[in-house]
């Protein structure tokens, strides 16, 4: 529907039509990055025809849509080919495990393999004759047993260890562990990998992986295989079905006791850190053996109405692939950052240095049209103002604030993107500094959707979180703007916020970008702002691709 075409991203991945959901089996195979995802071939909302769509890429930025890999066609997956994961076996063979919704909507686990492993595109898939290979065990509800995750191989007993998320009778999230040698028969261990600290409910799309704590180079990504011992921690992540957010916690997995323990038990899965404080769900990582890095993908949902999704004929987009590293400076969070391949889309750029914005003012960063951008900015506020403030906004919280409109002593300041000239529509990405009486400073990183659109039937929030800003650091932002999606990264990826916004006037040639400083006492200096226009990727359908 042309009325909505402006909402389509120019350089983010999405299928040409219909609903996309969870990233599934991502892998690098015979020279291609493969990406599978939950896809409804018939409509723009989730339903039980959910299938595995498939695309390939050389750089995770430009994609070729391939034929649908698997559809519901057996009793054990007739209500949907749900989420799963791919594993490369030591002999190079690929296997996939996925959840099937049975005829009776019981969640069971199934096995599939490429029909022709010599095909680098892995176009044909065959489901195993042994399916279903796992039914919910006693004590586990038929609707609480999904998203298998084959993780690692233990050479000493030649077992694969597989994880599945669930919840117990008291609504605590649990992670079950199975052992298997052949992916057809499985033994459930009496131990559970982890039970959540709070009663946060069902854990969807569980992920567990090692991170190197000794250096934060891209090439330090680790395969689960080699991921134990000194200088290694383990990240446990789950998607919270109740709350619809992806939480992670850093801890240690102990091979002997089969348990994972968080470093700080106040930061457990479901109660602490998130990959993204905006719209981002059902994410999975995979290890890219080509560039020795860990890559994160989630899906970014719509926040408009179901009616609008039906009218436009599509729903949801994929975030730009993000690399994951342990933050060796704070040692308490990950660094989540767009893959370097994205830089190849940067075209003309403009740089602004040392722009000063006094309290209550905005500054137009004139780059012409501003609907497809990559922005890197570094800010400072004057030290006199910070020193003069004894106590300010101790209880400030992005999500309960009035966003960019609220005026505090030391914030908000930042950027207004997807704005029109009169700024009657704008999405604000900003910092807000608060101070406690004992002298402590805290920085909040927020993204304000409240004034992003004049349209009404849209969920508009202020999202965000506190972010560590270490002594001597500037406030830094990277923002990817792409028509109806804004992905923002603070302090090199210590905190991330993704928004979907639907301006009515700030579209195409009418989009602008501004600096703003709505603090009452601090003066903002934008030390540097670099803005690149971004090329479109124009993803191509494979000949015969079954999209209408
Ligand atoms: C997460 C999820 C998974 C499930 C899939 C079904 O979004 O609910 O738990 O496997 O979607 O589409």
Give one DSSP letter per residue of 432-482, joined into a string: EEEE-TTS-EEEEEEEE-TTS-S-SSS---EEEEE----TTPPEEEEEEEE
Q: Residue 417 pLDDT more than 50?
A: yes
What's the pLDDT at 55? Answer: 95
Ligand 1 atom closest to the Cα of residue 204 is 9
> pLDDT at position 255, please?
81
Q: In the structure encoding, which two tokens stand for residue 499, read together?
A: 């928004």
Q: CA 226, CA 153: separation in Å to the nearest integer?
A: 10
Q: How far away, in angstroms, is 100 Cα from ligand 1 center?
A: 10
Q: What is the pLDDT of residues 90-141, one digit of tens each?
A: 888 999 999 999 999 999 999 999 999 999 999 999 999 999 999 999 999 9
Tens of pLDDT, residue by residue over 306-342, are 999 999 999 999 999 999 999 999 999 999 999 999 9
Q: Is the CB of 147 under 6 A from ligand 1?
A: yes
Question: Tell me, what's the pLDDT at 436?
Answer: 87
Beta-bridged to residue 235, according to DSSP, are 209, 250
Predicted confidence at residue 91, as pLDDT, reads: 87
Report strand pairing: 495-500 vs 173-180: unpaired
241 Cα–ligand 1 center, Å = 9
Distance CA 256, CA 546 (A): 48
How confident is the model over 70-86, as a mean pLDDT? 97
Tell me: pLDDT of 219 over 80.
no
Domains belonging to the chain, first-starting first, are 19-338 (2.115.10.20), 345-534 (2.60.120.560)
Q: What is the pLDDT of residue 548?
A: 39
Contact criterion met (CB below 8 Å) for 28 and 289: yes
What's the token pair of residue 209?
Answer: 């992986």
Mean pLDDT of 43-57: 97
99 lines ligand 1 (CB under 6 A): yes
Residue 22 catalytic? Answer: yes
Distance 201 CA to ligand 1 centre (A): 14
Q: Is residue 538 very low, low, confident or very high in pLDDT (cuts 50, 70, 90)?
A: confident
pLDDT at 547: 47
pLDDT in tens, 474-528: 999 999 999 999 999 999 999 999 999 999 999 999 999 999 999 999 999 999 9
Test site for ligand 1: of 46, 99, 109, 147, most ligand atoms within 8 A of the Cβ:
147
Q: Is the peptide bond preceding residue 120 cis, with omega within 30 degrees of 0? A: no
How high is the ipTM of this complex? 0.97
The 8-class DSSP code of residue 383 comes to: H
Q: Is 83 in the pocket of ligand 1 (CB under 6 A)?
A: yes
**Residue nearest to ligand 1 atom 6, measured at CA:** 82
Percent of residues, the chain, with pLDDT higher than 90 = 88
Average pLDDT, the chain: 94
Of 22, 309, 374, 482, catalytic: 22
The closest-lying atom of ligand 1 relative to the alpha carbon of residue 281 is: 7
What's the pLDDT score for residue 152? 83
Enclosing H/E stretch for 10: none
pLDDT, position 546: 53
CB atoms inside a 10 Å sphere around CB 229: 8
Distance CA 73, CA 77 (A): 7
Beta-sheet pairing, 173-180 with 159-167: antiparallel
Give the distance (Å) from ligand 1 centre to CA of residue 304.
20
412 prior amide bond cis, ω within 30: yes
For residue 302 the two structure tokens come to: 């719509």
What pLDDT score does 154 carry? 82
Least confident of 274-283, 411-420, 533-542: 533-542
Q: Could you tell me the two tokens for 458?
A: 């849209």
Given this model, what pLDDT does residue 346 score?
Answer: 98
Q: Using 50, 70 and 90 to split pLDDT, how confident is the model at 220?
A: low
Structure tokens at 390: 């004894």
Among 37, 46, 83, 245, which is best to mutate for testing ligand 1, by the most ligand atoms less than 8 A from CB?
83
Verify whether ligand 1 is closer than 6 Å to residue 207 (CB atom): no
Q: How confident is the model at residue 155 (pLDDT cuts 50, 70, 90)?
A: confident
What is the per-residue pLDDT for 494? 98
From the CA of 120, how far away is ligand 1's center (Å)? 27
- Name the residue among 13, 22, 40 with its Cα closest to residue 309: 40
- Whether ligand 1 lies within 6 angstroms of the CB of 448 is answered as no
Q: What are phi and psi of 168, to 5 degrees?
A: -95, 180
| pLDDT greater than 80 at residue 542 | no
The predicted-structure confidence for 441-453, as pLDDT tens digits, reads as follows: 999 999 999 999 9
């Amino acid at each position: 529907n042309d009325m909505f075409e402006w909402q389509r991203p120019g350089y983010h991945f999405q299928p040409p039509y219909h609903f996309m959901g969870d990233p599934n089996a991502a892998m690098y195979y015979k020279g291609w990055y493969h990406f599978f995802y939950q896809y409804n071939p018939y409509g723009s909302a989730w339903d039980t025809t959910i299938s595995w769509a498939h695309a390939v890429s050389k750089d995770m930025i430009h994609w070729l849509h391939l034929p649908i890999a698997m559809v519901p066609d057996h009793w054990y997956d007739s209500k949907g080919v749900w989420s799963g994961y791919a594993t490369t076996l030591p002999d190079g063979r690929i296997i996939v495990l996925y959840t099937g919704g049975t005829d009776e909507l019981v969640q069971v686990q199934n096995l599939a393999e490429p029909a022709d492993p010599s095909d680098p595109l892995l176009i044909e898939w065959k489901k195993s004759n042994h399916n279903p290979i796992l039914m919910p065990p006693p004590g586990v509800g038929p609707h609480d047993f999904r998203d298998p995750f084959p993780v690692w191989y233990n050479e000493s007993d030649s077992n694969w260890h597989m994880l599945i998320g669930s919840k117990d009778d008291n609504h605590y999230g649990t992670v079950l562990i199975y052992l298997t040698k052949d992916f057809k028969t499985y033994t459930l261990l009496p131990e559970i990998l982890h039970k959540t600290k709070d009663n946060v409910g069902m854990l969807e799309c569980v992920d567990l992986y090692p991170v190197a704590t000794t250096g934060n180079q891209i090439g330090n990504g680790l395969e689960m295989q080699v991921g134990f011992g000194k200088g290694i921690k383990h990240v446990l992540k789950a998607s919270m079905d109740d709350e619809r957010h992806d939480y992670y916690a850093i801890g240690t997995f102990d091979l002997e006791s089969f348990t994972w323990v968080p470093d700080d038990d106040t930061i457990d899965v479901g109660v602490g850190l998130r990959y993204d404080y905006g719209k981002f769900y059902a994410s999975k990582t995979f290890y890219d053996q080509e560039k020795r890095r860990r890559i994160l993908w989630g899906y970014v949902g719509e926040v408009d109405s179901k009616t609008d999704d039906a009218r436009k004929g599509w729903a949801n987009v994929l975030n730009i692939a993000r690399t994951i590293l342990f933050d060796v400076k704070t040692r308490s969070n990950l660094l989540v950052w767009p893959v370097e391949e994205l830089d190849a889309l940067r075209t003309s750029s403009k740089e602004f240095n040392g722009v000063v914005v006094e309290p209550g003012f905005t500054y137009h960063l004139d780059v012409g049209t501003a609907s497809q951008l990559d922005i890197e900015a570094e800010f400072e506020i004057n030290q006199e103002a910070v020193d003069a403030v004894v106590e300010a906004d101790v209880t400030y919280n992005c999500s309960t604030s009035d966003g960019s409109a609220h005026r505090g002593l030391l914030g908000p300041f930042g950027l207004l993107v997807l704005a029109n000239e009169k700024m009657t529509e704008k999405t604000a990405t900003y910092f807000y500094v608060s101070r406690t009486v004992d002298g402590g400073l805290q920085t909040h990183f927020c993204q304000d959707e409240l004034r992003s659109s004049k349209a009404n039937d849209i969920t508009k929030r202020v999202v965000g979180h506190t972010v560590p800003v270490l002594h001597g650091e500037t406030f830094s932002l990277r923002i990817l703007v792409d028509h109806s999606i804004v992905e923002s990264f603070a302090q090199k990826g210590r905190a991330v916020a993704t928004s979907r916004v639907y301006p009515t006037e700030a579209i195409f040639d009418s989009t602008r970008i501004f600096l703003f400083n709505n603090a009452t006492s601090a003066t903002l200096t934008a030390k540097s702002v670099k803005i690149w226009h971004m090329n479109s990727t124009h993803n191509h359908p494979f000949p015969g691709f079954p999209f209408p």
